[in-house]
Structure formats: structure tokens, C-alpha cells
């Protein structure tokens, strides 16, 4: 009843704001595709039509939400999204006659601990934090995964003492229980076991982000930053002042493409990872990587200390010592940046990136996420009842499309420059947030800076940004897009020029 | 070469990506979802003959918008020509194996047939019964080679049903914003089909189904 009330209120507000609500049938079709990945069936359409005729259309929409959230298709679709976030391939039975979203028995398909953790969080509507905090695992035994070498049984048996051959259990510290079933194994660890942390301590994750002598688990740390804190790990320029800006750039990109790797190695006596120009990423990666310092062949016999360290735009410096992967996972779930990041994932999945949201709206969503106990189904039910989801499909005009494309290109710039926003003397400028702040003259100045740095009046050959040694390069296509964007007056997401064209 | 009406926003290299195709202003069903949807709507056929129409395999993964595990980005940002050819081939094969229109003496109706032809179209076919001694259960009739021009009324009913089934009611179609006048759009479709003098019923159903499935109103949300 409360959801119905709020959905009616939001429809009223949308109309008052000029955002056109879509027809109920349009919303229901979108709901079905967004939650289940398939259109409404004939029967469902008939139900909806009858409900609308009886004046019960909104109630039917709410019924659809609750019904769709319980389907296998919903669970599968959300799992695919999580798999893509973690960047693992979703396992699915390729034989459509045996395809069964619930049961993968006897088909050679391997469901491991990672898969079960994610599936259980979704289907049982557990807190989203369980992706990091789960301490009970299930996995299928003896099946050989396609194309991969991970094997859950041996991974957990190394530290748990479980025999791989006969299933007998030896008691070991912190191991609660082990049940042997023909099809599925179950391993439970104590909640206080600091070695265990949801999907992070599953063979799937470990093998996806392999530890080597060179990367020292920084690859795993980088993945954790990207997935759970939305940190893309682009080289971040530290806060600075105008006088030392150029030297800071030289520090971050010292050779600017003019030296070979061998020359750089000879020039620096210290090993990689301690130089100032490397520290912009390593100060974050190294302390986190330490907690992952164990082989992917088996669970760590004991937890390793490390730290969660990074610069938060909202909280300032974060530097918290942790013990073991679980300590790290718990600390991450306590950060507001984590909440913001997960909320952004859900927003992008269900409402869409093409629907920009304000900071105020983001804070509302974060509050709602906590209010529903971080449970995915409850939060998704809220999102698909929101005015943004229920609005008419946007057919963008040329300037609106241009603005979105320019914004996505400028995000690469912002990933490096974001830390400069910490220093108000320099600028408080999110290159991707349109319209830019300030009056017309100030905005004109900002656009002119972009034009000069990127050589948007020329062919791009004289551009100074991004630096030559930057990982990201501005392509010719991107250069043309930004050029056109400026020529149109640097339109914002509504298509309105920010400056004179 | 069959011409398809494919209204897709101009595709540009997207810098962000999730499951499915992604273009700036709309989300497309993912590769797996497309397969699920198509299979739920169309009659099944022998899977070992048509793996690429039932599963994501190396052959079709690229143009079905599947994402790369390395980057999480979709391989294609939106439906392209390969996708059109794939869909045409899979729909054609499925409907050819439907068993419905291949039976000379009569045919069977089921839920999936209802999806494609609709209750009014079926009622119309029933009224054209011309083989009362058929031993096949359900409604007898011979429509394998019947030309569309011989029954324009059936084509009108077919178009009306398929547009509503795949794209939605007129209000929903207008909401989506790509078709402003659904009535005119339907009339254009009928005219287009009837202009092909040698097209038979089966071919007309295939052609129309593919056209509907290529619309953004069907593929995206």
C-alpha cells in the first residue's frame, strides 16, 4: 500500500516537473525487460489491460514487481550483471533443452562457491554486503570447469583439512562444519574467521585476478577498488597549488613519452612501486594487496595484515589498518564510498546512465539503500517505482547525444584530475558535470582551457593533454566529438549551450 | 535482399558498458536475453542443427552484444548488419520447422502459433476450411503455398496482431517515440507485404516476424 501511495505521488510530481510519465503498459513492458529480460507474456498483457479497465492498473504494476523479483530470470539477469562487474564469464548450459536456471545437475556445468554466493544474495534477498562478508560456501564437486583450472574443493580443503578423495573431515580451527553430498558440498567457516570474505576468497575470483611475483596481488586490489569503491585506478594527480602544477605533472608523467622503459629503470635506483610518480596508484594498491598475499591454489592458512587506504572525495583521507581479507571487506562495507558505488551500479543497471542524477538524489538513494538493509530486491523495487524509471523513453536530440558522448570522453580526464578538486584554490570542477559552475564568463574560460589543452581548433597534433605517457589517449574520433561539442556551444545534458557557440 | 526497417540511434563508440548492447539513450536486451526471448516466442527446432540460434557461441557472441570478460564492455554497441542476418536466419529456420505450414492437409495450433498469428488471424484461417476430411487434429486448411495477394484481409489481421504483440498498443508505441502514427505504420507494412506478388503466407509471416523483432521497441527498453 505504501509503495502504491509513493508511486502515485511520484507520478504526480513527475507531471508537475514536466517529466512525462509513460503509459502504464509502457512502464510494465519496460519493467518486464529490466527485471526479467523478456517482454510481457500474452497472459500478463491481458491481466494488465483488465486491471487498467477496472481502475486497478497501479496495483497490477506493483503485483508485477513482486512477481518478477521472484523469478529465475530475474536472478539470472542480476547475476549476469554482477559477473560482468567482476569480469567473469557467466556459466550457462549451452544446451537449451537442459537449460534450467535453478538446477544445473548432470550437465557438466560447474557451479562454484562464487556462483552460489552471488545467487544466494540475489535469490534470498540477503544484504548486498554478503558479497563481501559471506562465510558459508557451497560448490559442486568433481565437475571439471570448462576452460578454467580453479577447483573449489581443493581450494577450501588446503586450509580446512577436508580430504579430496574420501570426504572425511579433520577438525581444524575455525572450521564449523563440512557436509558431503553427492552433488553439492558445503563448507562453513566461523563469522570471525579473518581469512574469509565472500566472493573475494573464492577460487573464481582468485584465478580471475592472479597473483604473481611482479603484481604482488595488486591486481586483486585494483579489482576490489574498481568493483566496490568505483575507483577506476586511473593515475590521480594529487592536490596541488598553481605554482607547482607543472612540476606535479612532470612528477606523475616524468618522461612524457620521451624515454624508453630501460632508460627509466636505469635512471631510478629504487624499485618500481616506491617512486613518487608511481605512488599515485601504489599508495592505494600496495597496502590492500598485502591482505591478498596468498596463492590461489588454496585458502590462506592465516590472515595477513594490510590497510584500506585511499583519498575519498567526500570523506578525505581514508587510512584504516585491517587484518586479513575479512577485515578489509568489513571496513569497505562501512565506507560511504562503498554505498555510493553500489547505489550507482544499481542505478546504471535499472534506471540507466542516460538518466543523470544530482548529488542530492544520490544521497537520497544512499539513504534508501541503507534503509532497506542493503537488500537488492527491496532496493530494486524502489528504483523501478521511481519517477525516473517510470518516465517516457527519452528520444535525445543531437545536442543531448553530443553532450553525453562528450561527458563520457571527459570522464577519462576527470579520473586523473579529480583529486585536484580537493584544492579550492585551483578549481572545483567536475569536467563531466554539466552545466559547469559559475557565470557565462567563467564557463567560457573553462571551455577555452579545454580547447587549448586538447587543440580543438586544430587537428589535435598540438594537444598537451592527455600527457604522452598517459595510458589513455584521445582518439581522432573523440577529438572530433569534442570539437563538435564546443562548436555547438558545449551543450549540457538537456541540450542547452553552456557558452556561445 | 529483404529490406528491414531498423530504427537505431546513431551508434558511437561508447566509453561505458554493461551487459548488453549499449548506446547512449537506450539499453538493449543482452545476448542471453535475446536468445531466451526468441525461444519463448518462436517454435523450437532441433537444437543440434542450430546451436547458434539457441546459445551464445563464438560465432554469434560478437554481434549479440555479449560483453568481454576482460573489460566488461559489450563487443558491439548496438545491433548491426550481422545481427540482422543472424536474426533473419534463425527466425526463418524456426518457422520452417514449425511443422505448421509444412503439413499439406492441415496444421496444429499452439500457444506459439497464437503469438505469431493471433486469435483473429486464426479465426480467419478457420473460416477458410477447405478440407473437411483431414485426419489431422485441429483446423484443416492448405496455406503453404497460398499467396498473400489472394487474402489481403488475412495480411491486415496478421500485421495488426504482430504490431500489437511485439511492439505494444498504439499508446505504448507512441510513448516510445519512434513511430508517431501507428495506424499509418501498419498500413505501410501491409502495403509493403502485398506489393510482393509471389510471396506466400509462410514467407509473409517470416518476413513480418523478423521486421518486428528488429524494432527498437522490441529489442530495447
Rounded to whole angstroms, how far apart are CA atoms A99 and A96?
5
Q: Is A97–B47 a contact, with Cβ atoms under 8 angstroms apart?
A: yes
Q: Is B19–A81 a contact, with Cβ atoms under 8 angstroms apart?
A: yes
Q: Is A393–B67 a contact, with Cβ atoms under 8 angstroms apart?
A: no
Rounded to whole angstroms, how far apart are CA atoms B102 and B117?
16
Give Cα separations from A13 to A17, A149, A163, A391, A493 (angstroms).
Answer: 6, 54, 62, 11, 21
Candidates B72, B116, B163, B174: best to mutate against A (most CBs of A within 10 A) is B72
Of A80, A352, A393, Cβ closest to residue B30: A80
Q: Is B175–A393 a contact, with Cβ atoms under 8 angstroms apart?
A: yes
Q: Is A408–B14 a contact, with Cβ atoms under 8 angstroms apart?
A: yes
Cis peptide before A435 (omega within 30 of 0): yes
* % of chain B residues with pLDDT over 90: 12
Assess contact for A400 and A356: CB atoms under 8 A.
no
- Residue A450, φ and ψ in degrees, nearest 5: -65, -45
The Cβ-side half-sphere exposure at A69, using a 13 Å CA radius, reads 21
pTM here?
A: 0.78
Rounded to whole angstroms, how far apart are CA atoms B219 and B221?
7
The pLDDT profile of chain A, 501 residues, written as one tens digit per residue, is 555 555 565 555 554 444 556 789 999 999 999 999 888 888 898 899 999 999 999 999 999 999 999 998 899 889 988 988 998 877 665 554 444 444 433 344 567 899 999 999 999 999 999 999 999 998 876 544 444 445 787 788 765 555 444 333 343 344 555 444 445 678 889 899 999 999 999 988 998 898 877 777 888 999 999 999 998 776 555 555 555 555 555 555 555 556 665 665 565 555 555 555 567 678 888 899 999 987 777 787 889 999 999 888 777 789 999 999 999 999 999 999 999 999 999 998 998 877 778 889 999 999 999 999 999 999 999 999 999 999 887 677 888 888 888 887 888 887 777 655 544 444 456 677 777 777 888 888 889 988 998 999 988 888 888 877 676 788 888 899 999 999 999 998 888 898 888
Least Cα distance to A4 among A57, A43, A48, A67 occurs for A57
Instruction: Name the closest residue on chain B to residue A27, using Cα atoms.
Output: B172
pLDDT tens for each residue of B86-96 = 888 888 877 76
Residue A307: predicted pLDDT: 94
Q: Is B168–A26 a contact, with Cβ atoms under 8 angstroms apart?
A: yes
Q: Is B44–A96 a contact, with Cβ atoms under 8 angstroms apart?
A: yes
Rounded to whole angstroms, how far apart are CA atoms A174 and A464?
57
Classify burial at A471, counting beta carbons within 10 Å of its beta carbon; exposed 0-12, middle 13-18, buried 19 or more: exposed
Residues 152-211 of B with CB under 8 A from A: 165-166, 168-169, 171-172, 175-178
Candidates A32, A38, A400: best to mutate against B (most CBs of B within 10 A) is A38
Extract the C-alpha cell encoding B5: 526497417
Residue A11: predicted pLDDT: 56
CA-based nearest distance B110→chain A, Å:
13
Tracing cell 611482479 back to the chain, one arrives at: A214
Q: Is A409–B15 a contact, with Cβ atoms under 8 angstroms apart?
A: yes
Q: Give the containing element (helix H, strand E) for A139.
A: strand A136-140
Rounded to whole angstroms, how far apart are CA atoms B193 and B205?
10
Give the count of beta carbons closer than 10 Å to the beta carbon of residue A184: 14
Report which DSSP code applies to A265.
Answer: H
Amino acid at each position: 500500500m505504501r509503495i502504491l501511495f509513493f508511486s502515485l505521488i511520484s507520478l504526480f510530481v513527475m507531471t508537475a516537473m514536466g517529466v512525462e510519465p509513460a503509459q502504464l503498459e509502457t512502464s510494465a513492458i519496460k519493467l518486464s525487460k529490466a527485471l526479467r529480460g523478456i517482454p510481457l507474456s500474452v497472459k500478463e498483457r491481458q491481466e494488465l489491460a483488465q486491471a487498467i479497465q477496472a481502475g486497478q492498473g497501479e496495483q497490477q504494476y506493483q503485483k508485477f514487481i513482486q512477481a518478477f523479483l521472484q523469478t529465475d530470470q530475474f536472478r539470472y539477469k542480476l547475476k549476469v550483471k554482477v559477473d560482468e562487474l567482476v569480469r567473469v564469464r557467466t556459466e550457462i548450459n549451452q544446451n537449451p533443452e537442459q537449460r534450467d536456471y535453478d538446477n544445473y545437475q548432470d550437465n557438466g556445468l560447474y557451479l562454484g562457491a562464487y556462483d552460489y554466493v552471488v545467487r544466494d544474495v540475489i535469490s534470498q534477498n540477503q544484504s548486498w554486503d554478503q558479497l563481501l562478508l559471506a562465510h558459508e560456501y557451497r560448490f559442486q564437486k568433481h565437475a571439471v570447469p570448462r576452460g578454467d583450472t580453479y577447483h573449489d574443493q581443493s581450494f577450501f580443503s588446503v586450509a580446512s583439512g577436508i580430504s579430496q578423495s574420501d570426504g572425511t573431515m579433520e577438525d581444524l580451527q575455525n572450521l564449523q562444519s563440512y557436509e558431503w553430498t553427492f552433488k553439492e558440498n558445503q563448507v562453513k567457516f566461523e563469522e570471525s574467521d579473518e581469512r574469509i570474505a565472500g566472493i573475494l576468497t573464492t577460487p573464481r575470483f582468485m584465478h580471475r585476478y592472479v597473483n604473481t611475483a611482479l603484481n604482488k596481488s595488486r591486481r586483486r586490489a585494483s579489482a576490489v577498488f574498481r568493483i566496490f569503491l568505483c575507483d577506476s585506478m586511473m593515475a590521480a594527480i594529487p592536490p596541488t597549488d598553481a605554482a607547482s602544477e607543472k612540476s606535479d605533472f612532470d612528477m606523475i608523467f616524468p618522461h612524457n613519452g620521451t624515454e624508453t622503459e630501460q632508460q627509466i629503470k636505469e635512471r631510478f635506483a629504487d624499485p618500481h612501486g616506491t617512486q613518487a610518480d608511481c605512488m599515485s596508484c601504489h599508495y592505494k594498491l600496495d597496502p590492500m594487496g598485502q591482505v591478498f598475499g596468498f596463492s590461489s591454489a588454496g585458502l590462506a592458512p592465516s590472515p595477513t595484515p594490510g590497510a584500506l587506504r585511499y583519498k575519498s572525495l567526500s570523506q578525505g583521507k581514508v587510512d584504516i589498518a585491517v587484518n586479513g581479507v575479512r577485515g578489509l571487506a568489513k571496513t569497505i562495507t562501512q565506507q560511504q564510498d562503498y554505498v555510493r558505488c553500489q547505489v550507482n551500479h544499481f542505478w546504471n543497471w535499472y534506471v540507466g546512465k542516460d538518466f543523470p542524477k544530482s548529488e542530492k538524489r544520490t544521497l537520497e538513494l544512499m539513504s534508501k539503500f541503507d534503509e532497506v538493509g542493503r537488500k537488492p530486491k527491496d532496493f530494486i523495487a524502489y528504483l523501478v517505482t521511481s519517477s525516473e524509471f517510470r518516465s517516457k523513453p527519452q528520444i535525445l536530440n543531437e545536442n543531448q547525444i553530443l553532450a553525453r558522448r562528450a561527458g563520457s570522453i571527459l570522464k577519462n580526464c576527470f579520473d586523473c584530475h579529480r583529486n585536484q578538486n580537493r584544492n579550492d584554490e585551483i578549481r572545483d570542477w567536475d569536467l563531466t558535470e554539466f552545466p559547469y559552475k559559475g557565470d557565462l564568463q567563467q564557463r567560457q574560460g573553462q571551455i577555452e582551457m579545454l580547447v587549448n589543452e586538447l587543440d580543438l581548433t586544430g587537428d589535435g597534433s598540438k594537444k598537451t593533454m592527455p600527457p604522452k605517457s598517459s595510458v589513455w589517449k584521445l582518439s581522432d574520433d573523440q577529438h572530433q566529438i569534442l570539437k563538435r561539442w564546443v562548436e555547438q556551444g558545449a551543450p549540457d545534458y538537456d541540450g542547452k549551450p553552456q557558452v556561445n557557440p | 535482399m529483404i529490406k528491414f526497417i531498423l530504427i537505431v540511434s546513431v551508434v558511437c563508440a561508447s566509453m561505458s558498458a554493461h551487459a548488453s548492447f549499449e548506446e547512449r539513450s537506450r539499453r538493449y536486451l543482452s545476448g542471453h536475453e535475446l536468445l531466451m526471448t526468441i525461444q519463448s516466442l518462436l517454435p523450437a527446432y532441433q537444437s543440434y542443427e542450430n546451436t547458434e540460434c539457441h546459445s551464445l557461441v563464438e560465432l554469434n557472441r560478437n554481434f549479440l552484444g555479449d560483453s568481454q570478460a576482460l573489460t566488461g564492455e559489450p563487443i558491439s554497441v548496438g545491433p548491426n548488419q550481422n545481427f540482422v542476418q543472424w536474426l533473419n536466419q534463425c527466425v526463418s529456420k524456426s518457422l520452417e520447422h514449425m511443422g505448421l505450414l509444412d503439413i499439406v492437409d492441415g496444421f496444429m495450433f499452439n500457444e506459439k502459433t497464437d503469438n505469431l498469428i493471433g486469435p483473429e488471424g486464426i479465426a480467419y484461417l478457420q473460416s477458410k476450411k477447405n478440407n473437411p476430411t483431414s485426419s489431422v487434429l485441429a483446423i484443416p486448411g492448405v496455406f503453404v503455398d497460398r499467396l498473400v495477394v489472394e487474402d489481403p484481409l488475412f495480411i491486415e489481421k496478421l500485421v495488426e496482431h504482430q504490431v500489437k504483440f511485439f511492439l505494444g498498443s498504439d499508446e505504448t508505441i507512441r510513448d516510445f517515440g519512434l513511430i508517431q502514427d501507428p495506424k499509418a505504420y501498419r498500413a505501410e507494412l501491409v502495403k509493403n507485404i502485398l506489393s510482393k506478388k509471389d510471396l506466400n503466407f509462410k514467407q509473409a509471416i517470416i518476413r513480418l516476424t523478423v521486421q518486428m523483432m528488429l524494432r527498437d521497441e522490441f529489442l530495447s527498453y
